[in-house]
Amino acid sequence: MGDLVILQKAELFSWWEKIQNKTDRMIRDIGDKSPHVSVSGIYDDMRIDWWTSGFWPGMLWIQHEMTGKEQYRSAAWNWDARIEQCFIINSNLHHDVGFQFLPTAVVKHRLTGNEDARRIALGAANFLAGRFNLKGQFLRAWNQEKTGWAIIDSMMNLSLLFWASEQINDPRFRQIACAHADMVLSQFIREDGSVHHIVAFDPETGEVEKYLGGQGYGPFSSWSRGQAWTIYGMANTYKYTKDIRYLRAAQQVAHYFISCLPEDHIPHWDFRTPDPINEPRDTSAASCAASGLIEIAHLLPPEEGRIYQQAAEKIIKSLTEHYATLDEPDYQGLLREGTGNKPAEQNVNVSLIYGDYFYVETIAKLLGWSNRIF
């Protein structure tokens, strides 16, 4: 992409050094916990089958690859095996196994050649493929009574299927991923580039029954993290398929996202609320979108990709200067003001491990890291 247009290398290296210092302290303080939410500077310990369990080890693997330091590799090593136990015990694994096994088993195999990690990741891909509904051409989302539900978050899990297809030269995984992505093109993305969170299908016929607001304000609102999942997920799908429809969809949603950002470039939790000025921000949506925007930039010629690169850098600069905790060594969490689930009033104005992960991932990309996890 050429020279950075907003951020200077020295500035990025300074942030990266502070991230490492914080991570070193968090390794010591977090131990074997599976962090999800940090309310007052202390990360919780969520159950291992929770969808966020892969992000902390994912942060560690990126830093290991960037620095070569053994402490990151050692702290990340056993996470794929720990999460795999959820296939054996009674658990609630679902569509988000991509979030759990891409940053653990897949990257572990890629960086170390560990064959057990490859086996674990292929098992997760088989599990995800088994959730495909033939009539509706979608990957089922959650479990329990939600048999016909599909959610936009699943776009980020498709990379697990594309990876498996390449690993064992089996087109079925790729076909399922593309079918789901095609369904998202037709049922989730609106003409203006905004996106539904949940589409409920009749699981027997595949017909759309209704749209649901989910973690957004309402069925036809615009949940900002859902926009970010779409930007990144569609860019990834184009990267694996070279089907221009997916790249154009990523650009369409990115244009909408960028146009909705407030002055400091950090989105509110939903772009379509009655009083957006007084609504909380979501720094996790910001960091995920920034990483996805960089993917779009790298998939286009420099003169076309520049606007996405610039947008990503503006977001990261604002996150670091106004929302990050890089100079607070005792605070567990890298970004404040994440919003998990505003309609349920859960995890509002907190640090979220996935927000932290995509923040680390984006800065690593800006420093030249190219061995992608998602």
| Catalytic hit among 49, 80, 153, 282 | 153
> Which residues, listed in sequence order, are joined to residue 351 by a DSSP beta bridge?
38
Q: Give yes or no: 153 in active site.
A: yes
Q: What angle do CA 311, 312, 318 make, to 5 degrees?
A: 90
Is 181 in contact with 136 (CB distance < 8 Å)?
no
Strands 338-341 and 208-212: unpaired
**CB burial of residue 298 (10 Å; 0-12, 13-18, 19+):** middle
Question: Pairing mode, if any, of strands 138-139 and 149-151?
Answer: unpaired
Say if CB 121 and CB 82 are below 8 A apart: no
Q: Is 32 a catalytic residue?
A: no
Residues linked to residue 192 through DSSP beta bridges, in sequence order: none
Q: What residues does 297 pair with on adjacent strands?
A: none
Angle, in degrees to the nearest 10, between helices 244-260 and 283-299:
140
In sequence order, what DSSP letters do the residues of 235-284 get, joined into one string? HHHHHHH--HHHHHHHHHHHHHHHHH--TTS--BSBS--SSGGGSPB-HH
- Nearest to 149, CA basis, from 96, 99, 212: 212
Annotated catalytic residue: which of 80, 96, 282, 356?
A: 96
Sequence-separated contacts (24+) of 90-94 with Cβ below 8 Å: 91/49, 92/49, 92/143, 93/49, 93/127, 94/51, 94/131, 94/140, 94/141, 94/142, 94/143
Give dist(CA 308, CA 298) in Å, integer.
9
SS3 of the chain: helix, strand, coil, percent, to 5 = 55, 10, 35
Cα separation, 237 vs 185, in Å, equals 12
Quote the CA–CA distance of 265 and 263 in Å, as a whole number: 6
Q: Which residues are annotated as catalytic?
A: 96, 153
